[in-house]
Amino acid sequence: MTKQEFQNLVKQRPVILDGATGSNLMKAGMPKGVCTEQWVCENPKPLQELQKAYEKAGSQIVYAPTFSANRISLKNYGLENKVEELNKALIEISRTAVGSQMLVAGDLTTAGNQETPYEELLEAYREQILVQTREGIDLLVAETMLGVTECMAALDAAASVCSLPVMCTLTVESDGSLFFGGNIYEAVETLEEMGADAVGINCSTGPDQLLSVVENMRKRVNIPLIVKPNAGIPVINAQGQPVYSMEAREFAACMKHLVDAGADIIGGCCGTTPEYIQKLHDTFTL
C-alpha cells in the first residue's frame, strides 16, 4: 500500500480498524504470563477465527499479532533470536485468516522501558519491520506506545527500510498525559513533522473520557487522527480478570461523538469484540 493509497482510503472516513486481540485470546484459553506471539503461532485457530469475525463485522484493517515480536520484548522469554521466525509466521496466520482483499497492518509496540537507548529501539524496530515488509504487510502501526521517543524510533526505522504508511498511536491518561512523560498534543505534532501518516491514541480509557483529548489533538495536526479506545474502565472480578463496563451500543454512540470531533480512523482496544466493531460499522454505514 502506498502512502497516497492510504490517504485516499482515509478520505472515505471513518476507516474502521479491528478490536481487541489479547483480551479475546485470553477468553479463548491463552494462559496468563505466556509469550502471546509464541502462543498464537502454536495455537493459530483462535486468532484466525477472531480476525475473520472482525472482517465480517466491518473492519477494513486488521492488526497482525506481531505486537511484541521485537528483540527487546522477546528477550523476556528467551526468544530474542526468533524475531524473523515469529513475525513471518504471525503475518502468515493473519493473511490466511482474512485473505488478500483485507488490509493487514504490521504491529509494533513499546519495549516497556523508558531507559532503553534510542539506538537499541531503532535497531529492534528495524529488524522487525524488515521481516514484515518482506512478508508483504500492507502498512505499519506503532501502537500502545508509552512515550513519543518510541514512536520516533519506529518512524525512523520504517523510513530506513520501506515506504509503507505508518500509523502511530500512544496510550494516554484521560487528561492527555503520557506514561513516559509529556503529553499527547506535543507528541502528535512531533510525529506529524517526522512523517507519520496518521496519529492518535489507543488503549487508554473508554471513549466517553476522550472527547476533550480528541478535540485538542485535532487542533494540533492536519494528518488523519486515530482513536482506538478500551470498552470503558475495567473492574477486576473475583477471578482476577478485568471486566469492561461499556456495552457495544454505548461504545459506538460515544465513538460517534469522537468522529464528530475529528477522528478519522476508529476501532476498539481492550475489552472490545467483533460485536463492538459491528456496532461501529452499523453506526457509520446506515
CATH classification at residue 34: 3.20.20.330
| 264 in Cβ contact with 10 (< 8 Å) | yes
Report the domain count for the chain.
1
| 269 in Cβ contact with 228 (< 8 Å) | yes
Helix (H) or strand (E) holding 92: helix 83-98
- Residue-wise over 30-53: b if at least 16 C-beta within 10 A, else e? beeeebbbbbbbeebebbbebbbb
Helix (H) or strand (E) holding 189: helix 184-194
Tens of pLDDT along the chain (286 residues) come to 999 999 999 998 899 999 999 999 999 999 999 999 999 999 999 999 999 999 999 999 999 999 999 999 999 999 999 999 999 999 999 999 999 889 999 999 999 989 999 999 999 999 999 999 999 999 999 999 999 999 999 999 999 999 999 999 999 988 899 999 999 999 999 999 999 999 999 998 999 999 999 999 999 999 999 999 999 988 888 777 778 889 999 999 999 999 999 999 999 999 999 999 999 999 998 6
Sheet (strand 225-229) strand order: 15-16, 265-266, 225-229, 198-203, 166-170, 139-145, 103-109, 61-63
How far is the C-alpha of 125 from the C-alpha of 121, rounded, in Å? 6
Give the model's pLDDT for residue 101: 85
Give the model's pLDDT for residue 16: 98
How far is the C-alpha of 17 from the C-alpha of 9, rounded, in Å? 12
C-alpha cell at position 110: 513499546
Give the model's pLDDT for residue 241: 77
| 197 in Cβ contact with 8 (< 8 Å) | no
How far is the C-alpha of 29 from the C-alpha of 115, rounded, in Å? 34
Helix (H, G, I), strand (E, B) or coil at 285: helix
Domain that holds residue 190: 3-285
| 226 in Cβ contact with 264 (< 8 Å) | yes
Give the model's pLDDT for residue 238: 72
CA 234 and chain centroid, separation: 19
C-alpha cell at position 99: 485473505
